[in-house]
């Protein structure tokens, strides 16, 4: 039912139906023994000479039919029912059937866009089902770095894509606020508060060295008050009270991370604290369930989980000989909690350096015998980011010391460019972030290239509306058959592909598809703009072109929105 919104917006299913009935016809005639079992494959050819859509069915079934692909293709074409979609069809190459679509069918999408507006591209695949996207999930032990930025850009964009495809999305940030690293944080702040430096002999092992630790220490000793997402803490100033330092430091860094994320236009529905799993007893409960299920054993004073019976290469310690749990135990408890909250679908976006945790967490969940499917949860892993400037790698940040922060990037190149660059490449590729390119205000820079297309469209429409009033675009919908130039038709075809791009990007969990599409859409728009004057054409043509411009602006805005990048009216 909901699928039909999608179907109406693309011509593929319509063409598939025509070909299917042609094949049925051939079966009735006895030319074919039966219908092909695989679904028909219909593609957009790269070469315009190969038509608008093409189908390979003749090559696929030729052998079984005992005919040459080209002969079979000829028969398929002859058996095609009459319709208003296909203007012409050809046989090409080894047996492709190429279809040329009636140009009115290409431009009718303009009406669809101008009535759907910001919902054009939405496709109801999820049908309101719940999905959780967990991303960023940085430890509150320091500022967010560029890797977190990549996770934030990808995760948030995934959320937007899933929303656009009909899912009820919940965005969650998991705070590891209970482990050894938090202890190190508190010790580092304490050391700073006592006037020590990382160079000193008695500086804590594995202490954090960035200058932000000094800031936290100063704030603590001067008894400042910090407002983090869900709590307010005033520092006692007592530098012997390690727990007080810990709570205060965590609050400080959470606040800083929250501010960075806000500057990055990323927000969350839920901040889930690891410590709450200890407080509620969920961790102990998880452990005893695993023990009951018989998937654990004791050895050398420690409790182990047989992760190797769930695909891990060796078994893993759950409870250390000194009594504490290893980090993946609360992770399992956390994911059980997600399952119990009713998320039949969960997507975790993380850095690829955490790859090894996947097997462990899934193994723990299987060991619970809680009816959780084997491949749950899903993971999207992104590879490392390196930052280049003036041809050299940038490694240090003033504030964090050892890594470039997300805030550094936003300060250098702005939120839009940062988000675009971090989301525009496949998560599986290592990413080189070129500061000089991101700063360029020219066609070197894809962000500005796309935004410029949007601003240009807005500018023409402002001029048109001042000269002609606001209804010229609507009137243009009655004259769409005036759009006959190849540049106009190419643009309209590209605009019409948008819902398919959104659906595919959401299904494959690959937001960079949208970035690539936008570059194509912007390019087609610029080409059309340069080839044909809009405001000086004959009235009917002018109005039709204005409608096309309005539709282009809308689609580019919708696409940029999926990436969390702004769509400026002027630049």
Give CA–CA dist 280/334, Å, rounded.
11
Give the residue ranges of DSSP H helices in 432-511: 435-439, 446-468, 472-476, 486-508
Which residues have a Cβ under 8 Å from the Cβ of 7 and sit 6 or more positions away? 13, 14
Check residue 103 for interaction with RNA (CB under 7 A).
Answer: no
Check residue 38 for interaction with RNA (CB under 7 A).
Answer: no
Q: Return the closest-CA partner of residue 155 out of 517, 511, 429, 520.
A: 511
Give CA–CA dist 529/523, Å, rounded.
10
Q: Where do we find the tokens 């009935």?
A: 21
Direct distance between the N- and C-terminal alpha carbons of the chain, in angstroms, rounded to an integer: 42
Residues 62-101 that bind RNA (CB under 7 A): 63, 92-94, 96, 98
Of residues 339 and 529, the one with the C-beta less far from RNA: 529
Check residue 444 for interaction with RNA (CB under 7 A).
Answer: yes
Mapped onto helix, strand or coil, the DSSP state of residue 406 is helix
Instruction: Give buried/exposed letters for 429-438 (b at 16+ CB in 10 A, else e).
Output: eebebbbebb
How many chain residues are in contact with RNA, going by CB under 7 A? 92
Check residue 452 for interaction with RNA (CB under 7 A).
Answer: yes
Of residues 22 and 193, the one with the C-beta less far from RNA: 22
Check residue 511 for interaction with RNA (CB under 7 A).
Answer: no
Give CA–CA dist 326/306, Å, rounded.
14
Contacts of 300-307 with C-beta under 8 Å, sequence gap 24+, read: 305/363, 305/364, 305/367, 306/367, 307/359, 307/360, 307/363, 307/364
> At closest approach, how far in Å is the CB of 490 from RNA?
10
Check residue 473 for interaction with RNA (CB under 7 A).
Answer: no
Check residue 281 for interaction with RNA (CB under 7 A).
Answer: no
Q: Return the closest-CA partner of residue 212 out of 263, 247, 249.
A: 249
Candidate ranges 22-30, 283-291, 318-326, 475-483; the one touching RNA (CB under 7 A): 318-326
Alpha carbon 304 to its chain centroid, in Å, reads 36
Of residues 222 and 530, the one with the C-beta less far from RNA: 530
Single residue of 73, 185, 458, 482 touching RNA by CB under 7 A: 458
* Phi, psi dihedrals of residue 23, rounded to the nearest 5°: -65, -40
Of residues 129 and 533, the one with the C-beta less far from RNA: 533
Single residue of 13, 179, 207, 414 touching RNA by CB under 7 A: 179
178 within 8 A of 206, measured Cβ to Cβ: no
Check residue 231 for interaction with RNA (CB under 7 A).
Answer: no
Check residue 529 for interaction with RNA (CB under 7 A).
Answer: yes
Single residue of 28, 78, 117, 531 touching RNA by CB under 7 A: 531
> What sign for the dihedral angle of Cα 219, 223, 228, 233?
positive
Residues 406-425 that bind RNA (CB under 7 A): 425
Check residue 510 for interaction with RNA (CB under 7 A).
Answer: yes
> At closest approach, how far in Å is the CB of 371 from RNA?
26
Check residue 243 for interaction with RNA (CB under 7 A).
Answer: no
Of residues 238 and 298, the one with the C-beta less far from RNA: 298
Mapped onto helix, strand or coil, the DSSP state of residue 385 is strand
Residues 536-555 that bind RNA (CB under 7 A): 536
Single residue of 428, 470, 471, 481 touching RNA by CB under 7 A: 428
Q: The sheet that has 296-299: what strands, in order across it?
A: 296-299, 302-305, 316-319
Candidate ranges 157-165, 287-295, 341-349, 534-542; the one touching RNA (CB under 7 A): 534-542
Residues 7-36 that bind RNA (CB under 7 A): none
Check residue 44 for interaction with RNA (CB under 7 A).
Answer: yes
> At closest approach, how far in Å is the CB of 188 from RNA?
14
> At closest approach, how far in Å is the CB of 535 from RNA?
4
Check residue 504 for interaction with RNA (CB under 7 A).
Answer: yes
DSSP secondary structure letters along 508-555: HT-THHHHHHHHHHHHHHHHHHHHS-STTS-HHHHHHHHHHHHHHHHH
Of residues 190 and 445, the one with the C-beta less far from RNA: 445
Of residues 474 and 523, the one with the C-beta less far from RNA: 523
Q: Return the closest-CA partner of residue 33 out of 6, 62, 11.
A: 62
Of residues 103 and 451, the one with the C-beta less far from RNA: 451
Of residues 458 and 480, the one with the C-beta less far from RNA: 458
57: exposed, middle or buried (C-beta count within 10 Å: 0-12, 13-18, 19+)? buried
Candidate ranges 6-14, 109-117, 149-157, 504-512; the one touching RNA (CB under 7 A): 504-512
Residues 286-315 that bind RNA (CB under 7 A): 299-302, 313
571 within 8 A of 465, measured Cβ to Cβ: no
Q: Which two tokens stand for residue 256?
A: 């800083």
Mapped onto helix, strand or coil, the DSSP state of residue 381 is strand
Single residue of 127, 223, 321, 340 touching RNA by CB under 7 A: 321
Check residue 432 for interaction with RNA (CB under 7 A).
Answer: yes
Check residue 463 for interaction with RNA (CB under 7 A).
Answer: yes
Here's the x/- map for RNA, 364-383, by CB under 7 A: it reads as -----------------x-x
């Amino acid at each position: 039912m909901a699928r039909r919104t999608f179907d109406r917006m693309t011509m593929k299913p319509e063409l598939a139906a025509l070909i299917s009935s042609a094949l049925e016809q051939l079966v009735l005639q006895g030319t074919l023994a039966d219908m092909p079992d695989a679904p028909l494959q219909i593609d957009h050819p790269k070469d315009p000479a190969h038509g608008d859509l093409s189908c390979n069915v003749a090559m696929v079934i030729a052998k079984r039919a005992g005919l040459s692909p080209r002969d079979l293709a000829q028969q398929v074409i002859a058996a095609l029912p009459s319709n208003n979609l296909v203007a012409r069809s050809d046989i090409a190459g080894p047996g492709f059937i190429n279809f040329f679509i009636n140009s009115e069918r290409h431009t009718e999408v303009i009406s669809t866009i101008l009535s759907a507006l910001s919902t054009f591209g939405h496709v109801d695949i999820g049908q309101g089902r719940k999905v959780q996207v967990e991303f960023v999930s940085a430890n509150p032990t320091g500022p967010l770095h560029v890797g977190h930025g990549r996770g934030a850009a990808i995760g948030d964009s995934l959320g937007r894509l899933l929303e656009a495809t009909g899912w009820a999305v919940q965005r969650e940030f998991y705070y590891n606020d209970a482990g050894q690293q938090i202890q190190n944080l508190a010790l580092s702040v304490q050391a700073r508060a006592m006037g020590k430096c990382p160079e000193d002999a008695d500086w804590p092992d594995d202490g954090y060295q960035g200058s932000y630790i000094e800031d936290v220490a100063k704030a603590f000793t001067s008894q400042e008050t910090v407002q983090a997402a869900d709590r307010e803490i005033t520092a006692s100033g007592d530098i012997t009270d390690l727990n007080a330092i810990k709570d205060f430091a965590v609050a400080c860094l959470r606040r800083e991370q929250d501010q960075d994320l806000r500057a990055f236009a990323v927000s969350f529905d839920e901040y889930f604290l690891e410590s709450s799993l200890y407080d509620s007893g969920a961790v102990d409960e998880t452990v005893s369930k695993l023990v009951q299920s018989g998937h654990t054993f004791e050895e050398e004073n420690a409790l182990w989980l047989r992760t190797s019976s769930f695909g891990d290469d060796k078994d893993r310690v759950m409870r250390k000989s000194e009594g504490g749990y290893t980090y993946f135990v609360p992770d399992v408890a956390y994911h059980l909690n997600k399952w119990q909250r009713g998320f039949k679908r969960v997507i975790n976006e993380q850095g690829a350096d955490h790859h090894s945790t996947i097997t462990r967490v899934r193994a723990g969940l299987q060991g619970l015998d809680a009816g959780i499917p084997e491949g749950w949860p899903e993971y999207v892993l992104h590879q490392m980011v390196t930052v280049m400037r003036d041809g050299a790698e940038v490694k240090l940040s003033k504030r964090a010391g050892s890594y470039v922060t997300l805030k550094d990037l936003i300060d250098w190149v702005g939120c839009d460019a940062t988000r675009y660059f971090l989301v525009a490449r496949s998560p599986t590729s290592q990413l080189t972030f070129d500061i000089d390119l991101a700063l360029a205000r020219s066609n070197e820079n894809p962000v500005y290239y796309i935004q410029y297309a949007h601003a240009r469209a807005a500018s023409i429409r402002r001029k048109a509306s001042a000269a002609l009033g606001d209804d010229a675009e609507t009137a243009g919908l009655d004259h769409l058959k005036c759009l006959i130039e190849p540049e106009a038709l190419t643009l309209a075809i590209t605009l019409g592909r948008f819902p398919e791009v959104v659906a595919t990007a959401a299904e494959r969990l690959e937001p960079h598809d949208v970035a690539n599409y936008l570059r194509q859409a912007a390019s087609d728009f610029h080409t059309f703009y340069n080839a044909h004057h809009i405001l000086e054409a004959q009235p009917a043509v002018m109005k039709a072109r204005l409608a096309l411009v309005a539709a282009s602006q809308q689609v580019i805005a919708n696409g940029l929105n999926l990436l969390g990048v702004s769509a400026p009216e002027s630049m």
